[in-house]
Amino acid sequence: MITVLAYWLLLFFIFLPGGLLLNNILKLRTANITLLILTGMFFYTVIFTVAAFLMPLSAIVFYSAAGVSILTLVIYRKDAAGVLRAAASQFRSLPASYKIIFTLLAAGAALKSAQLPGITDNETYYVQTIKWLNEYGIVKGLGNLHVFLSQTSSWHVLQAGLNFSFITDRLNDINGFLFVVCLFLYFNEGKTERKTVSLTATIPLFSAVFFYFIDAPSPDLPLLVVFPIIIHLLLKRHIVLAWILFLFLAFIKITIAPLGLLFLYPLFRERTQLLFMAASGFFVLVLWILKNIVISGYPIYPFTSFGTGAEWQVPGQLLEGLHATSNIYVYGTADDTTAAGKFWSWLCRSGIDGLFNKLMIILLATVPCLAIFRKDKRYRAIYGVVLLQFIIVYVMSAQFRFFLPGMLFLSACLAAAVINGFKKIPVYNTALAIMIVACAYSFSEIKGRSLLLPEKNHRNICRYSLQSMGNLNYFSPDTAPLMYYTGNGPLPCVNKRQVLYFHRKYNIRPQMAGKSINEGFRSVKTN
């Protein structure tokens, strides 16, 4: 925990100067510390992505980023000092209850970050994605080795650039840092003098959901904690800042893209920013497409309606089979089921999936009845975009993680309405106290040593053995709960069960594209 806090402090002094630099280049005119850190994160995500095409994200990249931040901090030292003084003043002005809750949540996030990751995706591809970026950068046709690696997220690029992989494997803890940074804005912007609770102030009430994603570098957390800030900025008509943060999220995970329709209305009112938004959006889009082409051969992956036809393009059979298997899991039924039967099966799923599915439908049906939606057309417009995004996600792959950002907005609206209906701030404080208890339940185990040092960034408890198939020599876990499991195995790593499954079912096997790993991978059809 203490090491994690020290690591976060380092991230703070890397991202803040990056934000100051972008702030001055683009003349964003913000002194808000959270917004500066978020724009700094976006700045380095772009820089690291470009670097990953050319080199591994190892020591030289980290020290270069640190050097840029130090130089920027020296140049803009007066701006930085002003931002820090303003942030300190904001914290001092918080009510005592907010200060206590913020401190408890920040400490809890650090302790949670120090625990072993609990998300299954961490063991199937998060760790491996970051490891590939650390040791090789962006590798051509990497999706042929392990199909999940086609999903390489820019969030993992950012984590890889700053995780000290050349020293330790215990610091993939950027998620907790992001949560605390955004939490600071929620409490400060959520302050009110009218004994009512704003929409922004309700976001901390859902911290137990955020805690689920804190102990692993999940790309879902940025979408959850930054999307409410985008809504806040749009309502305040800070269009450019909101657009930059939206580009950041879309670069991280494309499932957020339909929510970009939120910018149509403000752009219709203020067209002066259209050129900048079009140019910056085009730049990020090109970078995202290039990343997809190199890794999977599909320009707009995960959409595979058309590909480049490159020799390293991941075979459509593998992706179609994976999609079909995923749909059976997501909807709880086969693809040939009727639309009504499919929806009912999806709605009645058991466990956390079914819970969130039902909750989303309830929110979509009830939230439009709230007074704020009847009085303010901006909220009706946001609701329409959230509904559209849900429909798109439902048709493509209705995993609750994909519609959680919209669901969070609807939940925050309902929470604000309920709390303000009582017209008593103590109701809000009580809800926060209950939420802290809920966060405490997210800890599966707490080891004494984690108070000082974080656990490893994986739950790797198996041995790896060297396997061969054609010209590919790879490491496979000897025992694993899933055939897609790889953990923190040495590169190149893929589960032997997965390789044999695709070979037997599709007559396809992964192979090296050349004599070295740097030349990438391709899939070969066998008889």
- pLDDT tens, residue by residue, 113-131: 999 998 989 999 999 999 9
Domain boundaries, the chain: 2-261, 318-445, 464-525
Residue 370: enclosing H or E segment and its boundaries? Answer: none
**Highest mean predicted confidence (pLDDT) among 27-31, 160-164, 441-445:** 160-164
Res. 192 pLDDT band, cuts 50 70 90: low
- Cross-strand partners of 127: none
Task: Kindly state the average pLDDT of the residues 165-172.
Answer: 91
Lowest mean pLDDT among 186-195, 202-211, 233-242, 418-427: 186-195
The overall average pLDDT reported for the chain is: 91
- pLDDT tens, residue by residue, 311-354: 999 998 888 878 777 777 777 766 657 788 888 888 988 888 88
Res. 507 pLDDT band, cuts 50 70 90: very high
Rounded CA gap, 219 and 250, in Å? 11
Give the SS3 label for residue 469: strand
Name all contacts of 480-487 with Cβ < 8 Å and 24+ positions apart.
Answer: 482/120, 482/123, 482/124, 484/124, 484/125, 484/146, 484/148, 485/123, 485/124, 486/123, 486/124, 486/125, 486/127, 486/128, 486/146, 487/123, 487/127, 487/458, 487/459, 487/460, 487/462
Q: Which two tokens stand for residue 433?
A: 């106290």
In this predicted structure, the answer to whether residue 40 has a pLDDT above a threshold of 80 is yes
pTM: 0.95
Q: Which of 212, 118, 113, 220 is nearest to 172 (CA)?
A: 113
Q: Which of 168, 167, 156 is nearest to 216 (CA)?
A: 156
Q: Which of 406, 423, 23, 441 is nearest to 197 (CA)?
A: 423
DSSP 466: E
Q: Do 412 and 206 touch, CB atoms closer than 8 A? A: yes
Res. 191 pLDDT band, cuts 50 70 90: low
Rounded CA gap, 214 and 180, in Å? 10
At 403 the pLDDT is: 92
At 358 the pLDDT is: 94
Ordered alpha helix ranges (H), 76-162: 77-93, 96-113, 120-121, 127-135, 154-161
Q: Which of 280, 250, 243 is nearest to 264 (CA)?
A: 243
Q: For residues 303 and 336, which has the higher predicted lDDT (pLDDT)?
A: 303
Burial (0-12, 13-18, 19+ Cβ within 10 Å), 139:
buried
Burial (0-12, 13-18, 19+ Cβ within 10 Å), 207:
buried
Q: Which two tokens stand for residue 207?
A: 């911290």
At 335 the pLDDT is: 61
Q: For residues 139 and 194, which has the higher predicted lDDT (pLDDT)?
A: 139
